Structure 1
Amino acid sequence: AGNPGNDTAAQLATLRLASQMGAALFRIALAEPGAETEVTIGGRTLRYPAERGEEASAGIWQTAVAFALITGVREDLAPLVLTGPTVAHPDGSAFTAYREALHAYLKGTEPEAAAQRALQEAEKAKHWGFTMPPAVLLSQLVEGDEESFNLALADTLEAHRAYYQVADRADDPNASVNLDVLALTCHARRRGWAIRVDSPYLPQGLLRAAEPF
């Protein structure tokens, strides 16, 4: 998605397929274990025995939410809101507070307190040597502050660029696009917010496709 000249329609088709796969995984996790669950992926109806295994982990939940927010397909987001990041197992990672805050925001249940905890955890992790999810961006969505969101977006993308310039990180598949940042930005667009940051890390075709509801 980060390569210039790519076909936006082709990008969206791939992203929608990924979004359907993530939603299907958590629909399966929602069902009574052992029951047969019917899901649709890429136009195909498939049936799977319901289970809550490692595939429905908190990390996969976060990625699935990102794809659902980028594509804006509400039916893909629904099972992710219903399950949450710990439907299969406790989280216990450095990203736990962010995932809890994201889930609280999507549910609309006391997101302010959860977002504050995510900010505190992100502050503690500044020198841990890895990138944290965009807690500041999420907090601005929670607060409904469009101007601060744009300021935080510019800072977040600059931090992303700086991180992936070090050593061999430029070859990492995550270097070209931060899915969590792109997801929150597409969601902000659908809220009707103007995105004033122009960056190669924000594919313009995908942003234009994120039309306000």
Structure 2
Amino acid sequence: MVSIITRHPFPTGNAEEGIAVLQENAHDLLEGLEADPSSLGDALSTTLTLAEAHCLMDPRAAIYPTRDAWVTAMQVGSAVFATALAPKGNVRCRIAHKDLTLQATGPQWYVHPGAWLTAFYLAVACREKDRITALCQVPLSLLRENGAQFEEHDYAWIDTLQTYWLGGQDLVPKLVSAVDGTDPDTVSDPETVSKLVYPPMEMFHRFIRKDHEGFTRALTQALELHKQYWSEEDRAVNIGGLVALAPLAIVCLAHDAGMPIEVESEYLPAVLIGRNWCGEFPT
């Protein structure tokens, strides 16, 4: 039996106008990437926000503009790391239906664990296997170079996901290290870690164990905690809460492995999970 977790209330009165503004901002940033590839960080946050905003009125991602926005965000996420890894010269990147020539950037302020996880989750949701593989070859050392304030569990979680995708060794110990790092007594923001960071790890744990019932429980809890977090008054109108991005990515992995998904929610765009749109247009 499929259970349904509703999304927290979100105002829709100015949705079309808001999406139009985000679309214009995203367009301007993407148009300027060849001249200034260092704006990729802003482009990633803006295109992700646009993709999530589309899901306010189209929570299933059932219409083309929504899916197109998700693909564009995914392409920008991949470009962030393709240009950061390139030793010098130019990098060809497909973004928003155009083949762009971007300059290699090396390490930048936006090349950090948060951006990597966003790029990975987007690539998984869009089923871009080559891009996922490229992201999983990004060395953790690159993510540490800009001195951004991230905690060790972030690096351990990235190490876990890279090891899983590439079929490396010590997957379980790495996952245990990531989970141990989320101890509320040791992190700087216990609420965010307990409600947003740890739940996808538990989902992944149940997924790799092929524990269907445990996965369903973990997914349910992840969405309920996501809802709690984003229902707080100071966060309730933040577009970032409209989609549970990390749980979505783990659900996509589980779906493709043949695990039944017995939870439905507006936080999880159903058409992205079902992947029936893949191949709709060149990516």
TM-score for both structures, normalised by structure 2: 0.67
Q: CA deviation at 1:4?
A: 4.6
> 1:137 is matched with which residue?
203
Deviation at 1:3, TM superposition (A): 2.4
Unaligned runs of 5+ in 2: 1-51, 278-283
Unaligned segments of structure 1, at least 5 residues: none
Aligned counterpart, 2:43:
none
Partner of 1:30: 85
In 2, are the aligned partners of 1:62 and 1:85 still within 8 Å (CA)?
Answer: no
Shift of 1:127: 7.2
Task: Deviation per CA, 1:72-91: give whole Å up to 9, x if none.
Answer: 11122122011145424257
CA distance in 1, matches of 2:224, 2:137: 34
1:1-213 residue pairs with structure 2 within 5 A?
1=52, 2-5=55-58, 8=62, 9-32=64-87, 34-50=88-104, 51-90=106-145, 93-94=150-151, 95-109=154-168, 110-124=170-184, 125=187, 128-131=190-193, 132-133=196-197, 134-209=200-275
Please say which structure displays the higher CA radius of gyration.
2
Structure 1 residue 92 displacement after superposition = 5.8
Quote the offset at 1:179 in angstroms: 0.8
- Give 3-state SS (helix, strand or coil) of 1:123's partner: coil
* Aligned-partner Cα distance in 2 for 1:107–1:92: 27
**Number of residue equivalences:** 210
Rate the CA distance shift 1:84–1:199 in 2: closer, same or farther, 3 A.
farther
Any idea what SS the aligned residue of 1:169 has? coil
The secondary structure found in structure 1 opposite 2:91 is strand
> Secondary structure of the equivalent of 1:37?
strand
Which has the bigger relative contact order, CA under 8 A and spacing at least 6? 2
CA-to-aligned-CA distance 1:112-140 (integer Å, 9 cap, x gap): 11111111122335972324422111222
Name the CA distance, whole Å, in 2 between partners of 1:148 and 1:84: 32
